[in-house]
Amino acid sequence: MTLHLDHITLTYPDGPTEVTAVDDVSLTLHPGQFTALVGESGSGKSSLLAVAAGLQEPTSGQVRVDGPRGLIFQQANLLGALTAREQLLVTDHIRGRKPRRDRADELLERVGLAGSGHRRMNQLSGGQRQRVNIARALMGSPAVLLADEPTSALDTRLAREVVDLLADITRETQAVTLLVTHDRSLLDSCDRVVEMRDGRVREVRAVS
């Protein structure tokens, strides 16, 4: 499963004119490859990720993806009143599937939260909540994982732990993973860094 972004352009209306957030970006992302997307504020990272995630139609160009996509954002989209396990089971509910409690507990264990399934979000730390977020994205067995600043609410140590977990999961599941981050200290956990500037890809480099 490979994710192809072919000549993606995304413009937003901006009063009488328009702003080009993504300007003819082509990228191919491979299974098991953990790619970081970096660049200054406003360079188009979140816009490109939203297109890759299927949340935003590109103005032109094409996303080619063959498999489920899992999305990980900042923790704001977790439902505060639910337990960790329920956060995961909601995804089954949304898809009209039978709730897979065993699968939910397995994934909570995988992200280091064994035994915490009954705890409510407000009883978990920021790092633990982000682990729930990751486990929730994994409920759909995604071939592509898209994460937009998942560590921005975390301190350095927790941010590193969460990114290392994403790196391990990428290798284990052979997912295609794209991580938007502004934190350059996290880049050595990645395989590849794509740097954007003014909506374009400025540089693609391998992390040694």
Task: Sort strands 200-206 and 192-197 into parallel, antiparallel or unpaired.
Answer: antiparallel
Q: Is the CB of 15 or the CB of 115 nearer to ligand ATP?
A: 15
Instruction: Please give the full DSSP string across the chain, using - where no structure is assigned.
Output: --EEEEEEEEEEEETTEEEEEEEEEEEEE-TT-EEEEEESTTSSHHHHHHHHTTSS--SEEEEE--S-EEEE--GGGS-TTSBHHHHHHHHHHHTTPPP-HHHHHHHHHHTT-TT-TT-BGGGS-HHHHHHHHHHHHHTT--SEEEEESTTTTS-HHHHHHHHHHHHHHHHHHT-EEEEE-S-GGGGGGSSEEEEEETTEEEEEEE--
In single-letter form, the type of residue at position 106 comes to: E
Shortest reach from residue 178's CB to ligand ATP, in Å: 13
Shortest reach from residue 40's CB to ligand ATP, in Å: 7
**Contact residues: ligand ATP, CB under 6 A:** 12, 14, 19, 21, 39, 41-47, 182
Q: Is the CB of 18 or the CB of 172 nearer to ligand ATP?
A: 18
Shortest reach from residue 44's CB to ligand ATP, in Å: 4
Q: Is the CB of 2 or the CB of 152 nearer to ligand ATP?
A: 152
Q: Is the CB of 6 or the CB of 149 nearer to ligand ATP?
A: 149
Q: Is the CB of 105 or the CB of 148 nearer to ligand ATP?
A: 148
Shortest reach from residue 150's CB to ligand ATP, in Å: 13
Shortest reach from residue 91's CB to ligand ATP, in Å: 25
